[in-house]
Amino acid sequence: MLRSLGQRPVTGIDEDPRVAELCTAVSRLRRQLAALPADFPDRAIAEDELAALAAMAAGGVPEIPRLRASLLLIAGAIGSMSALARGLSQVRAAVDLFGEPPRA
């Protein structure tokens, strides 16, 4: 049942809590975006990047620069839509759990 909804069962011990938090936040924002009746020009970009974040999280510990790039694209696509502000903040907090990318 969970797999049909695009969610994975909780496996427990082996899962990185940062990845679990990212999965939860991304899933929540995806549901909020899907429930939003308003259409806006960059909706497809937000949906695509949320799908990319979900895929990265499903693959284990994601690359920090790619996480941050997706977050910026999502924030830019959503803009100032107040209905999605809380969900976006939760995704940002989850991305921040991974820390800063290493400086070159």
Encoded tokens for 25 = 């936040």
Query: What's the pLDDT at 102?
Result: 62
Query: What's the pLDDT at 40?
Result: 87
Q: How far apart are CA 38 and CA 64, in angstroms?
A: 31
What's this model's pTM, rounded to 2 decimal places? 0.81
User: How high is the mean pLDDT in each 10-residue block of the chain (104 residues)?
Assistant: 47 77 96 90 94 93 92 92 93 92 64
Q: Which residues of 4-41 are buried (b: 16+ CB within 10 A; e: fewer)?
A: eeeeeeeeeeeeeebbbbbbebbbebbebbeeeeeeee
